[in-house]
Amino acid sequence: MAKTRARAGRRKAAERAGGQAVRRKTRHGGARRLREAVVTAPITVPYVRYSIRNAHFFVGRALAALLEQSRLDKSDIDGLSVGSFTLSPDTAIGLTQHLGVTVRWLDHVPLGGACGIVALRRARRAVEAGDAEVVACIGADTNHVDSFRQSLASFSVFARDAVFPYGSGGPNASFAFLTSHYMRSFGATREDFAKICIAQRENALSYPHALFKKRLTLEEYLSARPIADPIRLFDCVMPCAGAEGFLVMTRERARSLGLPFARVRATCERHNAFPEDPIQMRGGWVLDRERLYGEAGVEPRDIDFVETYDDYPVMSLIQLEDLGFCVKGEGPEFVRRHTFTTDGSFPLNTSGGQLSVGQAGCAAGFLGLVEAIRQLTGQNLARAVPEARIGLAVGFGMITYDRGLCSGAAVLGRADA
Amino acid sequence: MIRPLSRPRRKNPLLRTRQPLLPPGGRSRAALGLTAAAALGRFELQACAECNAVQYPPREVCHRCLSGTLRWRPQSGLGELLSETLVQASHDPYFRERLPWRLGLVRLDVGPTLVVHLHGGCAPAPSRVRVGARLDKSGQGVLLAFPLEEVPNMADDPELHEMTCDPRFRKALVTDSRTPLGQAMVRALIDAGADLVWAAHAEPWKQAPGFADLLALPQVAPVPLDVTESRSVKEAAAEIGGKVDILINTAEVHRAHGIASRSGIESARAEMDVNYFGLLRLAQEFGPVMRARGADGVASATAWVNILSIYALANFPPHGTFSASKAAALSLSQCLRAEMRPGGIRVINAFPGPIDDEWNQTLPPPKLAPAALAKAVIQALKDGIEDVYPGDVAEEWLARYRESPKTLERELSP
């Protein structure tokens, strides 16, 4: 493949950039040991539509899966980061006793679609700073029959005061506003969104944990039950219960344990970006992408696959624009140019994304990241992206009123990339 | 295009009456300011006392300068409809019964972006709209965007109609229809399109001037009702209670006395018996059945109106015992409002200044004509507000009362 040589060149450039970043850290860190944190042990607690178990069950089973995969003992875990909406009244601290773990670094990251990226970002710093050796990052939620309706009511003060009393469409109505505005502003059509949803379903057919296992046709997509115009059923994710997780540890530790790992080339997060925008047509990535790619030593064209936060297909378009794969407003054109299947021209959401796998609360904020780690470590459960070296996972979340407040992204690389 | 409301078909008594549901009514304390303004028919948002930034959703501190002083200020509501949606699926039982439901996202000219209920007369986004505040069925303030220009059948928009108490096609009871005010109220209801008005009278053997003419109107039916007699109230409720959509309590005794100008408590007792206990008797008999019919079709039970007095806010010593009876009724009306809320029934209090009738004979003008008070009540029903202060005297007292209740008390002492 002609592409391979170009890649090798860029890889060297990237290593230089990455190496500089680590060296710079040592310079500022004085006598501190040079440490590079990596991600490993991607796990999933299989999703179910409804569960009678509490969130604690899913966090606990995720931790068990992490230990099983890494062959570590519980006592080896000295850092814990948990993202969950349904733990209430508990937070991460209650979980330490519930799960019987003693840690010296603890984080509670209830940031929905951004919690995986933020957890990784913070855990990486903790490991590199030496505050923890092995951090278990877990996103988990349960879903009882009525818990989605209840969580809408208590999601935020703004939602309770200024969204919930208006038809209780929850995020469906909010994203209907954005989708409708995006379509009018940039000429996107229902067929464009259909293409993304159908391609992701295609990708999901090879992913064992996807709740949707049936191929989606254009006709089915277009004629699905209307939810909030222009959004129909297959534009929406299915709330469910489940968990995702990974471990963050030093490269040396991962090596000595014989664990396949991915490198964290760069991460970014931004909250409440562009508060003066009348309606959300962009996210914080616009402010951070230059630094993100600079730190990662890559450009968008070097990225082999992307895991967007696809709570609605319009958000995938906005993320692809804001992260530099095309300019603002050219999302529809970009969609028409690519296939988005794992074996196609722009592999997107290679496990099917939330649209096909399901949205297990905060686990959805981990879904893309966990899939990216699997792809880059050769542990893929879904079909493999051919020769994947660099992957991008995107986080987006927390519609407390009229827009998603959190945005984040992580560029991950294969161990040798 | 708004489809005009059509006269509801005669109810099939064998069918189950739809139980009232409410839209989500939980609010933070800050957000209740929107409700407080909407209850008076106003649209207000918080504005920062220091940097003037207008806030929405309601906040505890200014989102711009972090000042802790935010004041509710009237707003024009002008803005641009940025986007809209027609909600066709909802998790909420109230909205599920009323789908589809049109919602909009409006950027106000003064800054904030609002999620609003969207009136059917608004042109598709992008378009100019005017946002107003209304009380929804739960009695809480919500935002509703209207078209800039009046459109045909404006009031019949299904979302707006849920938030108002329009008398059209409804059946109303006026609890004392012999007085000039009672008669004006009956006529105003008919003019507003009421289907049927029960004109109640306590002493059928007494001829009140004009009452016979009133009964000659095809929409008017007499009903005997003496609010001082529990049995009479019970009988009236048994007969018509299940059909009353709007109850307007005009029954009143008014004597111009303070404490020392009269010996004994007989006239004060008569005032309390009608103005306070009369309300209580009516509320016990008519309240529960009205509350159960709060979602009974387009002509559901919808409102309870009390004709109080501006003297309910602060005692007017020359009419001291009357003032006290109205203050008691005001307090009871707040209890009634809380108890009617689960049915989505609005309790409207009218606080008129002196009405131009025989008991205010010695007071100088301005005095409120009964027809003007009736008109103000009809408007309150159409707007779905909770408190109405008709006339110049009432407005002035209200302004003085708001500024300083103690000062007003001194001003009213002869």
Q: Which of A353, A323, A369 is nearest to A196 (CA)?
A: A353
Q: How confident is the model at residue A39 (pLDDT cuts 50, 70, 90)?
A: very high
Dist CA A319 CA B139 (whole Å): 40
pLDDT cut 90: percent of chain A above it: 88
- Segment B27-51, tens digit of pLDDT: 999 999 999 999 999 999 999 999 9
Q: What is the pLDDT of residue B109?
A: 98
Mean pLDDT calculated for residue range A171-181 = 96
- Segment A374-408, tens digit of pLDDT: 999 999 999 999 999 999 999 999 999 999 999 99
Per the prediction, chain A carries an average pLDDT of 92
List chain B residues with CB under 8 Å of A170: 91
Residue B94's closest chain A neighbor by CA? A167
Mean pLDDT calculated for residue range A91-118 = 97
Q: Does B262 lie at the interface with A, CB-CB under 8 angstroms?
A: no
Task: With CB atoms and an 8 Å threshold, state whether A227 touches B88.
Answer: yes
Task: Specify the domain boundaries for CATH 3.40.47.10 within chain A.
Answer: 8-144+242-261, 152-235+267-414
Mutate to test the interface with A, among B81, B94, B113 (most CBs of A within 10 A): B113
Mutate to test the interface with A, among B88, B110, B118, B144 (most CBs of A within 10 A): B88
Task: With CB atoms and an 8 Å threshold, state whether A169 touches B56.
Answer: no
Mean pLDDT calculated for residue range A81-87 = 96
Q: How confident is the model at residue A169 (pLDDT cuts 50, 70, 90)?
A: low
- Residue A26, pLDDT > 70, answer no
Mean pLDDT calculated for residue range A277-287 = 98
Q: What is the pLDDT of residue A154?
A: 79
- Residue A148, pLDDT > 80, answer no
List chain A residues with CB under 8 Å of B87: 167, 169, 172-173, 176, 227-228
User: What CATH architecture does domain B171-412 belong to?
Assistant: 3-Layer(aba) Sandwich (3.40)
Domain A8-144+242-261 CATH assignment equals 3.40.47.10: yes
- Segment B4-30, tens digit of pLDDT: 999 998 888 888 999 999 999 999 999
- Residue B371, pLDDT > 80, answer yes
Domain A152-235+267-414 CATH assignment equals 3.40.47.10: yes
Task: With CB atoms and an 8 Å threshold, state whether B30 touches A231.
Answer: no
- Segment A295-324, tens digit of pLDDT: 999 999 999 999 999 999 999 999 999 999
Please report the ipTM that was assigned to this predicted complex: 0.92
- Residue B168, pLDDT > 90, answer yes
Q: Map out the domains of chain B as residue ranges.
A: 32-163, 171-412
- Segment B312-366, tens digit of pLDDT: 999 999 999 999 999 999 999 999 999 999 999 999 999 999 999 888 998 999 9
Task: With CB atoms and an 8 Å threshold, state whether A167 touches B103.
Answer: yes
Handedness of CA A250, A255, A257, A261 (dihedral sign): positive
The minimal CB distance from A161 to the residues B57, B80, B103 is found for: B57
Task: With CB atoms and an 8 Å threshold, state whether A227 touches B89.
Answer: yes
